[in-house]
Amino acid sequence: MLGPNPDALYPNEAIPSLVFIKNCVKNPNIIAGNYSYYDDPENPEGFEDHVEHLYDFLSDKLVIGNFCAIAKGIRFIMNGANHRMDSVATYPFNILGHGLEKATPSLADLPFKGDTMIGNDVWIGQDVTIMPGITIGDGAIIAANSVVTKDVPPYMIVGGNPARRIRARFNDEIIAYLLELKWWDFSPDKIWRNLDILCDTNPTLAKLQQMK
């Protein structure tokens, strides 16, 4: 086999900090594609611990595409972290019990932003926080220490707190072609055959059209 086994937990025995996410998560509401990895020298198998406030009764999901690279310190804040904002008090009295359960809000009263969607070939740097219901497009890059509060378009580099657009990775023509090409859905054999083009630091439309 050329390339790693997509069903392995540790794809490269020489890098014990790196795991394929889909092979280390157990929560069915965390869905990760092939070859997407989490790199953490302290506890790589603890990726699921970085998906915070993911509760079954809300049924929101974290969906990660293929070939994503996620660095240590990631925090996905899910919808369960939300408090009511339209009441006089934002404080969740009901969680204290002792009769205060009468203040339990209905699900309809809580802000719900939907699923968190991470596209394919997304690179997320160290210590990034992603807020609930965010969509990050294919090919995007999130700079280290960023807090992502808004959707990120495909092939956009963002950074900061809150994260702001820095620049697009490629021109509109190349981005449109890559989104149509969807190389991350190729068979492993086709990907490995085209590594030279996929790793080209000066891509052109003509070069991309040579993939076969």
Span between the terminal Cα atoms of the chain, in Å: 19
Does 50 qualify as catalytic in the annotation?
no
CB-based contacts of 171, cutoff 8 Å, min separation 6: none
Structure-token pair, residue 2: 């050329």
Which CA distances in Å does 83 have to 2, 53, 111? 49, 12, 7
Q: Residue count of the chain, please give it.
A: 212
Helix ranges (H only) for the chain are 172-181, 188-193, 195-198, 205-208
C-alpha distances in Å from residue 79, one per residue of 51, 97, 108, 134, 146: 11, 21, 12, 11, 19
Helix runs in 107-187, H state only: 172-181
Query: Which residue among the candidates 50, 53, 83, 98 is catalytic per the annotation?
Result: 83
13-to-17, 21, 81, 96, 169 alpha-carbon distances in Å: 9, 16, 36, 46, 32
The residues annotated as belonging to the active site are 83
